[in-house]
């Protein structure tokens, strides 16, 4: 099987979290010598495909597909697995599912909605293993594991150094247990210099706090600003999606997200809460932080991180297994075995 395209939504999806996806797309296109295929908005393309007349024409005259979709094979990143009947379930598309949180009762529809794809890539090892156990529900799907990565543009080596302006940076939503532990820690360590986020008027604004005094450091709304701030952090917190939650969103799945790789690429000490599972083992979270369970463990980890430098040789060796160029080679092997 030959790939020609990387499908991209960048013409109509401008949410900040898509910037990471577009970095993957660019790296994969470069490594695998693929072209970018700029998709219609989902509303437009699936509206075309929803008409029985159009689908009937395609079945009778397959060459007509080029008027609606490319007739060559391509890879596409999907934030979530598609489940609707209006899904363009094309034999020319290989979806790579970023977040998989489906429950067992949804798997039959998942199978129906995606059964024409020659291959489905599942980014989470935890979700992949789960699906292997549910083959009775997804009998028509050829699934393979292809983990998420970090763009080669963020490569580091043993000599990489970042100026650490802040003791701690709190990016995005915080795990409630780690947040409580940190609030307790600040009471006895008021001089710690940390940054946290407020959402104000639709903007992500960040504030510096030290000795109870709060100072604005401005808005962080672009990918470059986000990474620049992360590089200034000596310590960061990390947690998997469904730990310490009501389980309404992730339904018990605790995949490792790309933010963990970003923190490593920025040379920060990681203090983490996570459920040990196939994903945490695949990404070797235990090599960077034990799962924090008690305040005493948290305090010890904070004290160590504030007084020790990160081992950048260890960090660079670790990331050498997780750049997008590495995933490109893994994808090439998967495709060659189809």
DSSP secondary structure of 186-247: HHH-TT--EEEEEEETTEEEEEEEETTEEEEEEE--SHHHHHHHHHTEEEEEEE-TTTTS-S
Handedness of CA 164, 165, 166, 171 (dihedral sign): negative
- Give yes or no for a contact between 64 and 48, defined as CB atoms under 8 angstroms apart: no
The pTM is what? 0.90
Q: What is the pLDDT along the chain (338 residues), one digit of tens a residue?
A: 889 999 999 988 888 889 999 999 999 999 999 999 887 654 455 455 556 666 666 666 666 555 555 668 899 999 999 887 555 688 889 999 999 999 999 999 999 999 999 999 999 999 999 999 999 999 999 999 999 999 999 999 999 999 999 999 999 889 999 999 999 999 999 999 999 999 998 889 999 999 999 999 999 989 999 999 999 999 999 999 999 988 888 889 999 999 999 999 999 999 999 999 999 999 999 999 999 999 999 999 999 999 999 999 999 999 999 999 999 999 999 999 98
CA atoms within 13 A on the CB side of 164: 23
- Give yes or no for a contact between 36 and 6, defined as CB atoms under 8 angstroms apart: yes
Which domains can be identified in the chain, with CATH numbers?
A: 5-150+324-336 (no CATH), 156-319 (3.40.50)
Q: Which helix (H) or strand (E) segment is 97 a member of?
A: strand 93-97
- Give yes or no for a contact between 100 and 254, defined as CB atoms under 8 angstroms apart: no
Q: At what angle do helices 176-188 and 295-307 cross, to 10 degrees?
A: 60
What whole-number distance in Å separates Cα of residue 312 and Cα of residue 264?
9
Q: Which helix (H) or strand (E) segment is 273 a member of?
A: strand 269-273
């Amino acid at each position: 099987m030959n790939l020609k395209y990387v499908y991209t939504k960048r013409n109509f999806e401008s949410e900040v979290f898509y910037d990471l996806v577009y970095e993957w797309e660019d790296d994969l296109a470069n490594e695998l010598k693929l072209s970018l295929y700029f998709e219609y908005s989902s509303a437009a393309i699936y509206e075309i495909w929803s008409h029985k007349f159009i689908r009937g024409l395609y079945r009778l005259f397959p060459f007509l597909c080029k008027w609606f979709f490319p007739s060559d094979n391509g890879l596409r990143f999907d934030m979530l697995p598609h489940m609707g009947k209006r899904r363009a379930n094309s034999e020319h598309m290989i979806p790579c599912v970023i977040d998989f949180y489906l429950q067992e009762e949804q798997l039959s529809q998942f199978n129906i909605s995606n059964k024409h794809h020659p291959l489905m890539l599942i980014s989470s090892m935890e979700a992949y293993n789960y699906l292997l156990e549910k083959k009775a529900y997804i009998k028509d799907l050829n699934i393979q594991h292809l983990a998420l990565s970090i763009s080669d543009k963020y490569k580091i080596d043993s000599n990489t150094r970042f100026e650490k302006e802040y003791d701690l940076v709190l990016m995005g939503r915080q795990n409630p247990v780690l947040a409580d532990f940190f609030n307790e820690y600040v009471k006895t360590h008021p001089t710690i210099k940390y940054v946290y986020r407020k959402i104000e008027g639709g903007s992500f604004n960040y504030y510096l706090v030290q000795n109870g005094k709060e100072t604005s450091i401005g808005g962080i709304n672009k990918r470059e600003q986000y990474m620049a701030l992360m590089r200034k952090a000596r310590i960061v917190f990390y947690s998997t999606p469904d730990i310490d939650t009501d389980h309404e969103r992730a339904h018990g799945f605790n995949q490792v997200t790309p933010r963990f790789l970003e923190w490593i690429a920025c040379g920060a000490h990681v203090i983490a809460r996570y459920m040990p599972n196939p994903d945490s083992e695949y990404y070797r979270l235990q090599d960077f932080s034990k799962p924090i369970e008690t305040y005493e463990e948290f305090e010890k980890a904070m004290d160590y991180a504030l007084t020790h430098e990160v081992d950048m040789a260890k960090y660079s060796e670790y990331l050498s297994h997780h750049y997008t160029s590495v995933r490109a080679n893994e994808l090439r092997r998967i495709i060659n075995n189809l």
